[in-house]
Amino acid sequence: MKNGTPTDLVIAPEVEAIVEDRSLLSSPRPTVDRERLQHHLREVLKLLHVKMDDENIVDTPRRWAESLVTMTSGYDYTDVKKLTTLFRKACSTTDEQCQNLVVIGGTYKTLCAHHILPFFGHFIVGYIPERMIIGASKIPRIVEVHMRRLQSQEHLAHDVADTIEQILEPRGIAVWMGGVHMCMVMRGVEQESSFMETNVLRGEFREDEKTRDEFMSIVNRRGQRG
Ligand SMILES: [Zn+2]
């Protein structure tokens, strides 16, 4: 154990080399050809009969391009392990009492892959650690990488579950997401109250009713708060 490190949060020597790297998410993405992107976005607006000399529109292709570049920056992030700091979990895997469910929640916002319109909402991630736990702020970071790609809510939830499984190999992983989809609100059925829920349950969350119920009661409490 290192000096000053709490006993239940000892940094495992084998993962000490893994350092957080946000550089790609905040990078200017020089590999994206902005000039060409702006040109094509300008053409899209023209095809829609938008008057390009309007003072509100003149600079729109550039702004539109920049926001798309930002909102798709998750595609640059291929090494998800660099996102994380891992810790040994508090008790040994042989300890029967050690079924500690770790739950972390937050918000997400992304673009739907079908209509390139936003959808956004809340997520709750739960996992039962096997050997390792993950720094609390890192789950939202994993969500961030995946939400900065074109997504469906179901794919987003599965992508987050896949990444956490890949990094932690937990006994079980559960990802709940609930969101409002602008493609449903602004077009098609135009349902302003349309709220969609996705639930991914794997490992002990699938096999053990008690664990699943524990997670779902947390989700339901969250739901009641709105
Ligand atoms: Zn859509």
List Cβ neighbours of 53 (8 Å cut-off, separation of 6 or more). none
CA of 49 to the centre of ligand 1 (A): 23
Cα(118) to centroid(ligand 1), Å? 8
168-186: b (≥16 Cβ within 10 Å) or e:
bebbbbbbbbbbbbbbbbe
The dihedral of CA 214, 81, 142, 134: what is its sign?
Answer: positive
Q: For residue 152, how far is its CA from the centre of ligand 1 (angstroms)? A: 8
Kindly list the structural domains of the chain, giving each domain's residue range(s) and its CATH number in brackets, ordered by start.
25-71 (1.10.286), 88-225 (3.30.1130.10)
| DSSP assignment letter at 17 | T
* Ligand 1 mean position, distance from CA 114 (Å): 5
Q: What is the Å distance from ligand 1's center to 111 Cα?
A: 8
Per-residue pLDDT of the chain (226 residues; tens, 9 = 90+): 334 333 333 333 333 333 344 554 555 788 899 999 999 999 999 999 999 999 999 999 999 999 999 999 888 877 776 666 666 665 555 555 555 788 889 999 999 999 999 999 999 999 998 888 887 778 888 999 899 999 999 999 999 999 999 888 899 999 999 999 998 888 876 666 678 999 999 999 999 999 999 999 999 987 655 5
Q: What is the pLDDT of residues 83-99, one digit of tens each?
A: 666 666 655 555 555 55
Cα→Cα distances 139→105, 144, 214, Å: 8, 9, 20
- How many Å lie between the centroid of ligand 1 and the Cα of residue 11? 42
Instruction: Taking the CA atoms of 38, 42, 43 and 45 in sequence, report the sign of the dihedral they define.
Output: positive
SS3 218: helix
> What does pTM read for this prediction?
0.82
